């Protein structure tokens, strides 16, 4: 895949978080949400791309399965024309090599039933978990750790109802993470209809009191590894935007204080608590698709006591919060990330030409943590 490898001359100059800059295609050996459960129907294979790997998902007897979307024979994608002649198998449209979905074994070759290769080759299969209405795929080579080590705290809690949407964004996944976890990026949300319409307090930015002490790391032994942004407590919010002593723009002095806790977790998922109002959380993944695209998967969560409450919450998300928050607010983030892609993506030079300021300390701490604690870097020879 072109552009998947970072310019070595750039890597040479990166200090402090080189593995992160290398991870253009994401971190290997982690769990990623690929699609929503409702997108994966019984025996209807769906193609997905994670970390540059083309993967074919399917649901068989209700159970989600994932295989490499590339025939071992001549490398074509099964998804070009999906052919299944027996339940639990997939047959390549080209020369009819036939594989088991469950373990990837080459079980038959219809065009040469006596081939000595039958039973001797195995297609890569991926561990899959279905939780909270999402299909998670483990992209890697090691025995997968529990899913709970790769999702934010609270996400898997019993009673946490989850609902949302996903879309493709034309920027590298790291620009997604760094937009979400960037304290001063809230400047782009100053005209958001969510803020005015929902009476939210939203400053223009934050002046850190001690930029060196603006995050708290959580290193998970069994749980997830991530970082809390403490700027809310350790900064002075800027509501009056001044130039030469004259107020030129103002933040929004709403009554509702939200987003008290913002945290980022490996392999690249943000939690905002509470958001977009008290009693709700937003979780959002920036899933690497290829070097210049990420899947922005946004969900809202609320603790519920019954199935009826959970259903009502999902209806409320559909009726109100998608338009107001997941689109109305986060559309700002999408275009900001896409506008950042050119500088970082075209020749990787943004990583060494950027000039960071005090409020970027949280981003710097994330880069360091991710560099130290990831389980592997996706390389082009894995593709």
CA-CA distances (angstroms) from residue 258 to 29, 200, 219?
A: 34, 7, 25
76 binds, among ligand FES, Fe ion, none (CB under 5 to 8 A by kind): ligand FES
Instruction: Give the nearest distance from C-beta 130 to ligand FES in angstroms.
Output: 29
Q: Does the bond joining 276 to the residue before it have cis omega, within 30 degrees of 0? A: yes
Euclidean distance between CA atoms 219 and 216, whole angstroms: 10
Phi, psi of 181 (to 5 degrees): -95, 5
95 binds, among ligand FES, Fe ion, none (CB under 5 to 8 A by kind): ligand FES
Task: Closer to ligand FES by CB, 55 or 183: give it.
Answer: 55
Instruction: Give the nearest distance from C-beta 162 to Fe ion in angstroms.
Output: 20
CA-CA distances (angstroms) from residue 5 to 9, 91, 267, 379?
A: 12, 33, 19, 8
Euclidean distance between CA atoms 368 and 141, whole angstroms: 24
Task: Closer to ligand FES by CB, 121 or 193: give it.
Answer: 121
Instruction: Give the nearest distance from C-beta 164 to ligand FES in angstroms.
Output: 37
97 binds, among Fe ion, ligand FES, none (CB under 5 to 8 A by kind): ligand FES
Instruction: Give the nearest distance from C-beta 48 to ligand FES in angstroms.
Output: 20
CA-CA distances (angstroms) from residue 253 to 198, 218, 240, 257, 261?
A: 11, 32, 10, 10, 19
Task: Closer to Fe ion by CB, 170 or 373: give it.
Answer: 170
Which residue ranges make up the site for ligand FES (CB under 6 A)? Answer: 71, 73-74, 76, 92, 94-97
Task: Closer to ligand FES by CB, 91 or 184: give it.
Answer: 91
Contact residue for Fe ion among 333, 348, 360, 365 (CB under 5 A): 333
Task: Closer to ligand FES by CB, 62 or 75: give it.
Answer: 75
Q: Which residues of 298-318 are buried (b: 16+ CB within 10 A; e: fewer)?
A: bbbbbbbeeeeebeebbebbe
Instruction: Give the nearest distance from C-beta 40 to ligand FES in angstroms.
Output: 24
Task: Closer to ligand FES by CB, 100 or 298: give it.
Answer: 100
Instruction: Give the nearest distance from C-beta 9 to Fe ion in angstroms.
Output: 32
Task: Closer to Fe ion by CB, 52 or 301: give it.
Answer: 301
17 binds, among Fe ion, ligand FES, none (CB under 5 to 8 A by kind): none
- Total residues interacting with Fe ion, rule: CB under 5 A: 1
92 binds, among ligand FES, Fe ion, none (CB under 5 to 8 A by kind): ligand FES
333 binds, among Fe ion, ligand FES, none (CB under 5 to 8 A by kind): Fe ion
Task: Give yes or no for residue 273 binding Fe ion (CB under 5 A).
Answer: no
Interacting residue ranges for Fe ion, rule: CB under 5 A = 333
């Amino acid at each position: 895949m072109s552009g998947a490898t970072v310019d070595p001359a750039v890597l040479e100059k990166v200090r402090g978080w080189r593995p992160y800059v290398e991870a253009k295609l994401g971190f290997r050996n982690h769990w990623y949400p690929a699609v929503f459960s409702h997108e994966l129907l019984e025996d209807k294979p769906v193609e997905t791309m994670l970390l540059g790997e083309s993967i074919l998902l399917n649901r068989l007897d209700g159970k989600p399965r994932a295989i490499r979307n590339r025939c071992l024979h001549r490398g074509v994608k099964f998804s070009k024309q999906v052919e299944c002649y027996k339940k639990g198998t997939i047959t390549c449209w080209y020369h009819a090599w036939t594989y088991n979905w469950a373990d990837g074994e080459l079980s038959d070759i219809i065009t040469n039933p006596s081939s000595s290769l039958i039973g001797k080759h195995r297609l890569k299969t991926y561990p899959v978990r279905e939780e909270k209405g999402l299909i998670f795929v483990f992209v890697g080579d090691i025995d997968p750790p529990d899913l709970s080590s790769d999702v934010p705290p609270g996400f898997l809690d019993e009673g946490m109802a989850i609902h949302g949407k996903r879309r493709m964004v034309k920027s590298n996944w790291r620009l997604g993470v760094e937009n979400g976890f960037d304290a001063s990026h809230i400047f782009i949300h100053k005209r958001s209809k969510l803020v005015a319409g929902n009476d939210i307090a939203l400053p223009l930015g934050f002046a850190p009191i001690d930029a060196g002490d603006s995050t708290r790391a959580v290193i998970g032994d069994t749980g997830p590894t991530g970082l809390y942004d403490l700027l809310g407590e350790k900064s002075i919010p800027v509501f009056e935007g001044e130039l030469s002593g004259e107020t030129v723009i103002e933040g929004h002095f709403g009554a509702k204080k939200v987003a008290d806790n913002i945290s980022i977790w490996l392999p690249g998922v943000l939690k905002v608590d509470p958001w977009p109002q008290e009693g709700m959380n937003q979780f959002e993944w920036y899933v690497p698709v290829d070097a210049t695209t990420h899947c922005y998967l946004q969900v809202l969560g609320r603790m519920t006591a019954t199935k009826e409450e959970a259903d009502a919450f999902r209806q409320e998300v559909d009726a109100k919060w998608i338009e107001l928050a997941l689109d109305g607010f986060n559309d700002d983030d999408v275009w900001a990330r896409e506008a950042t892609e050119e500088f970082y993506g075209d020749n990787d030079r943004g990583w060494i030409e950027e000039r960071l300021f005090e409020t970027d300390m949280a981003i710097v701490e994330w880069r360091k943590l991710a560099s130290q604690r990831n389980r592997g870097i996706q390389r082009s020879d894995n593709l």
